[in-house]
């Protein structure tokens, strides 16, 4: 009986890895643009010769793709990508979500696989913003798709004369606000120089961008604004410094103004599996910090003299919430 139970458990774990194989295959396809190369139907040896790639390994990738349903083989023996993979896992597709695969496979999963060593040796990794800042910023643009409707609705209701985006990334929120409310004074702050340059090129000159560390900017004497966006930032700051951070942000907000926080929230039913794993990733680094829970968010608001106006999930699967605070 013991051997049977052991076999059944091993079989269950093997079965659960099928979804990982699909993710791995899509990631390789995205990274090398393979779904585009096989879009119209190609033979493996022709692609390998064209790019001087290892034909055996490319063939093995193709074999996995045929098994997981990402590729088809034509009657003439050519390999052809499924249309869905060309749309969602090709770099040059306007619908691509492949950057999320890259962040998961190159940043998150390698860290989680190191957990036995991290636990035993009591040391942590160091997150390198210069290496992954652009990847993280591009992934954040996917989150913007879900967050933009409620953010734009809030702006339409409140009609702020000035908006400050702290950690603006590629400037997606600022671009959308500028298009819809051209009289609004817009300010963005981005620490990563490459991400800043990308945002600068995509925004008009009257949008004020600063390539600065957030804490340096908060001490710069910037005039108060009507709305501050604090999106995907809290886990870059130690828990012990967040109260001071929120007080400084509140000090940069006009009376009656709004502060929006977007963050995964630990301990909530929505997205609990993801947030627990994401929190494990964060706390495996010396320079990344735990996700906030709802109690901490409410305490931060109270300590900064802010009303906790509303909270709602914007991506339930990932546990991301939009919190709206009001300056008293």
Mind listing the pLDDT tens digit for each residue in 210-250? 999 998 998 888 899 999 999 999 999 999 999 999 999 99
Specify whether the backbone of 267 is left (phi greater than 0), alpha (psi in -120 to 50) or beta.
Answer: left
Give the three-class secondary structure for 249.
helix
Nearest C-alpha neighbor of 34 from the set 62, 64, 76: 62
Q: Where are the beta strands (DSSP E) in 66-119?
A: 71-73, 79-81
**pLDDT at residue 8 greater than cutoff 90:** no
Which CA distances in Å does 3 have to 7, 10, 239, 287? 6, 11, 47, 45
DSSP 8-state code for residue 43: -
The pLDDT value given to residue 250:
97
Across the chain, mean pLDDT equals: 95
- The percentage of the chain sitting over the pLDDT mark of 90, rounded to a whole number, equals 86
Residue 112 pLDDT grade (very low, low, confident, very high; cuts 50, 70, 90): very high
The pLDDT value given to residue 2:
74
| pTM across the whole model | 0.90
The pLDDT value given to residue 273:
93
The pLDDT value given to residue 189:
97
The pLDDT value given to residue 281:
96
Minimum mean pLDDT range among 84-88, 177-181, 248-252, 314-318: 314-318
The C-alpha atoms of residue 88 and residue 23 are separated, in whole angstroms, by: 12
Q: Which domains does the chain have, with CATH numbers?
A: 2-91 (1.10.10.10), 129-327 (3.40.50.150)
What are the φ/ψ torsions at residue 260 (nearest 5 degrees)?
Answer: -105, 130
The pLDDT value given to residue 105:
95
Other C-beta atoms lying within 10 Å of the C-beta of residue 38: 25
**pLDDT at residue 297 greater than cutoff 90:** yes
Mean pLDDT calculated for residue range 42-59: 98
**pLDDT at residue 1 greater than cutoff 80:** no
Mean pLDDT calculated for residue range 135-154: 92
The C-alpha atoms of residue 190 and residue 232 are separated, in whole angstroms, by: 12
H or E stretch covering 311 = strand 306-315
Mean pLDDT calculated for residue range 277-305: 97
CA pseudo-torsion sign 222, 298, 108, 66: negative
Other C-beta atoms lying within 10 Å of the C-beta of residue 157: 9
**pLDDT at residue 143 greater than cutoff 80:** yes
The C-alpha atoms of residue 16 and residue 8 are separated, in whole angstroms, by: 12
The C-alpha atoms of residue 121 and residue 169 are separated, in whole angstroms, by: 35
The pLDDT value given to residue 233:
95
Residues 6+ apart with CB under 8 A from 91: 30, 33, 36, 98
Whether 167 contacts 214, CB under 8 Å: yes
Residue 3 pLDDT grade (very low, low, confident, very high; cuts 50, 70, 90): confident
Minimum mean pLDDT range among 16-20, 87-91, 172-176: 16-20
Residue 84 pLDDT grade (very low, low, confident, very high; cuts 50, 70, 90): very high
Strand partners, 266: 293
Nearest C-alpha neighbor of 217 from the set 287, 161, 163, 166: 166
**pLDDT at residue 6 greater than cutoff 90:** no
């Amino acid at each position: 009986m013991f051997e049977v139970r052991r076999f059944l458990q091993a079989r269950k774990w093997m079965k659960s890895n099928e979804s990982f194989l699909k993710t791995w295959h899509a990631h390789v396809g995205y990274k090398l643009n393979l779904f585009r190369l096989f879009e119209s139907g190609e033979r493996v040896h022709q692609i390998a010769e064209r790019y001087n790639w290892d034909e055996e390994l490319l063939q093995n990738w193709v074999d996995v793709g045929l098994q997981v349903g990402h590729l088809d083989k034509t009657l003439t023996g050519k390999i052809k990508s499924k249309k869905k993979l060309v749309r969602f896992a090709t770099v040059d597709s306007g619908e691509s979500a492949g950057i999320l695969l890259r962040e998961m496979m190159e940043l998150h999963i390698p860290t989680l696989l190191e957990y036995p060593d991290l636990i035993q040796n009591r040391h942590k990794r160091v997150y390198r913003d210069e290496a992954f800042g652009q990847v993280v910023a591009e992934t954040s643009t996917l989150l913007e798709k879900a967050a933009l409707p409620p953010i734009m609705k809030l702006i339409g209701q409140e009609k702020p004369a000035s908006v400050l985006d702290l950690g603006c990334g590629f400037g997606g929120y600022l671009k959308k606000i500028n298009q819809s409310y051209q009289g609004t004074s817009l300010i963005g702050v981005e620490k990563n120089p490459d991400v800043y340059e990308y945002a600068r090129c995509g925004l008009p000159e009257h949008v004020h961008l600063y390539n600065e560390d957030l804490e340096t900017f908060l001490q710069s004497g910037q005039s108060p604004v009507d709305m501050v966006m604090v999106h995907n930032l809290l886990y870059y700051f130690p828990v012990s410094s967040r109260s001071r951070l929120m007080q400084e942000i509140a000090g940069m907000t006009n009376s009656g103004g709004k502060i929006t926080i977007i963050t995964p929230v630990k301990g909530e039913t929505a997205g609990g599996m993801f947030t627990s794993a994401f929190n494990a990733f964060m706390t495996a680094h010396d320079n990344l910090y735990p996700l906030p829970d709802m109690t901490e968010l409410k305490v931060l608001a109270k300590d900064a003299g802010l009303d906790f106006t509303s909270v709602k999930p914007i991506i339930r699967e990932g546990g991301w919430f939009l919190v709206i605070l009001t300056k008293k």
